[in-house]
């Protein structure tokens, strides 16, 4: 450290005296609540980071909206804040432009408000940070310590990217293997870029609204490129440029961040890593957090509650990447020795979460109940979520357990 000159030293001492005189109030003021960081958010959201803004939905609040997550309660994850876009109100489309280019026959620039004149589509989908559940990994990994509240189920409406390309008569060239989306850098924001495989074009949507209202500015309004079935990170907010590319982008959000280890040339979902070990991420020994893995949550009873018995209604939600339907959710009250099938709200494939419920016969006393989902591709959740430990703590989908008391 450099030596301080006399004047600086005196100034610093003065500041210290002011802080001391102001007392603990100064320190109390230093942690803003969620609604102070993002206008219109529920003040009860947990502030994981102020800059960039990261807000987690407390579990009881998530569970209180089993159909759809409201804009007030939906988690926020910014890697890069867009100055001024810190409200749940919509943002103006006026003057917003989107460039579409790369490996297409005719690149073009679109006035975003032109989207209003094209046919609109709607999709209800799970928006989930790939770091959701991260704090359940041991040892602790790097990244925001999400519990299970980095997720929500929302309805986006807007124009399919396919529809837009067709309306402009634009065709992809054969080498277009990835869709690479760039966020606006207005106001001096640093770049945020993500690539997804070209197959994601099938359901890609330029979203203009969420839950029937203008897309909240903090959630990417006026326009966000969403990919149903893909983890949160791929759903680029404030989209400004869409490129069709031959390779994945090489910015930090694509490599080394937002990836999990894989064994090259296998179809294993992940490479079991020795918990605590480091990994030399590159494009062949790892894959991006793309498709959402099978997961389920128990919304009732909640941890620590006392409920009436002996028949106890257990309920929650389950989801996967929407490519195949979920086939069952099973519930166990004896540590996984036996499982009972829950009833699913739908047998159809969907990008949204699916509600489930079961009635268990339980005697008075303390219980621990677990739930796990299965889909039509035979995919499920590990009893020990730590099997997928990876140093950045992504894609946790270990079976959830709740402890409660039957009166
Ligand atoms: N432009 C932009 N898009 C972004 C991000 C970002 O920082 N900037 N964060 C991503 C991540 S990591 C997640 S989990 C989701 C969170 O979406 P939400 O804030 O609307 O809940 O947005 C994704 N899209
Ligand atoms: Mo995320």
pLDDT tens digits for 159-208? Answer: 999 999 999 999 999 999 999 999 999 999 999 999 999 999 999 999 99
pLDDT reported for residue 120: 98
* pTM recorded for the entire structure: 0.92
Instruction: Using the Cα atoms of residue 280, residue 286, residue 289 and residue 295 in order, give the sign of their dihedral.
Output: negative
N-to-C CA span, the chain: 62
Measured CA to CA, the distance from residue 88 to residue 150 in angstroms comes to 17
CA distances from 259 to 123, 244, 403 (A): 26, 21, 32
Distance 169 CA to ligand 2 centre (A): 34
The two structure tokens encoding residue 390: 């990876």
For the chain, which ranges sit under pLDDT 50? Answer: 1-27
The two structure tokens encoding residue 198: 């070209």
pLDDT reported for residue 29: 59
Identify whether the C-beta of residue 406 lies closer than 8 Å to the C-beta of residue 310.
Answer: yes
Distance 405 CA to ligand 2 centre (A): 34
Measured CA to CA, the distance from residue 287 to residue 375 in angstroms comes to 22
Looking at the CA of 86, which ligand is closest? Answer: 1
Measured CA to CA, the distance from residue 220 to residue 79 in angstroms comes to 13
- Residues whose CB is under 5 A from ligand 2 (ion)? 77, 129, 232-233
Ligand 1 pocket, mutate which of 41, 193, 220, 231 (most atoms under 8 A from CB): 220
Identify whether the C-beta of residue 288 lies closer than 8 Å to the C-beta of residue 248.
Answer: yes
pLDDT reported for residue 28: 53
């Amino acid at each position: 450290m450099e030596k301080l000159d006399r004047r600086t030293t005196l100034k610093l001492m003065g500041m210290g005296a002011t802080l001391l005189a102001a007392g603990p109030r100064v320190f109390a003021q230093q942690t803003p609540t969620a609604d102070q960081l993002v206008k219109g958010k529920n003040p009860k959201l947990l502030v994981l980071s102020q800059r960039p803004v990261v807000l987690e939905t407390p579990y009881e609040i998530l569970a209180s909206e089993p159909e759809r997550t409201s804009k007030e309660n939906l988690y926020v994850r910014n890697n890069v804040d867009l100055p001024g876009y810190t409200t749940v109100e919509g943002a103006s489309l006026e003057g917003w432009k989107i460039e579409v280019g790369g490996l297409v026959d005719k690149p073009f620039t679109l006035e975003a408000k032109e989207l209003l004149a094209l046919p609109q589509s709607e999709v209800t989908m799970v928006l989930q940070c790939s770091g959701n559940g991260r704090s359940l990994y041991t040892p602790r990994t790097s990244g925001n310590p999400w519990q299970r509240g980095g997720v929500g189920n929302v309805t986006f409406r807007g124009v399919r990217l396919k529809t837009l390309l067709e309306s402009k008569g634009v065709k992809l060239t054969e080498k277009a293997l990835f869709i690479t989306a760039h966020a606006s850098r207005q106001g001096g924001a640093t770049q945020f870029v993500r690539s997804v495989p070209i197959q994601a074009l099938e359901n890609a949507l330029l979203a203009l609204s969420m839950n029937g209202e203008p897309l909240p500015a903090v959630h990417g309004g006026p326009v966000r490129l969403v990919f149903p079935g893909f983890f949160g990170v791929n759903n680029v907010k404030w989209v400004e440029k869409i490129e069709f590319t031959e390779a994945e982008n090489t910015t930090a959000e694509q490599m080394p961040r937002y990836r999990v280890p894989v064994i090259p040339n296998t179809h294993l979902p992940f490479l079991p890593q020795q918990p605590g070990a480091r990994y030399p991420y590159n494009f062949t020994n790892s894959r991006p957090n793309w498709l959402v893995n099978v997961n389920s949550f128990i919304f009732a009873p909640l941890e620590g509650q006392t409920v009436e018995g002996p028949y106890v209604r257990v309920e929650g939600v389950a989801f996967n990447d929407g490519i195949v339907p979920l086939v069952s959710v099973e519930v166990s009250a004896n540590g996984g020795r036996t499982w009972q099938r829950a009833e699913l709200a739908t047998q159809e494939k969907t990008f949204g979460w699916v509600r489930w419920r079961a009635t268990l016969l339980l005697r008075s006393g303390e219980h621990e109940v677990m739930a796990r989902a299965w889909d039509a591709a035979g995919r499920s959740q590990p009893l020990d979520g730590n099997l997928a430990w990876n140093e950045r703590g992504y894609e946790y989908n270990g079976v959830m357990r709740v402890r409660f008391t039957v009166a």
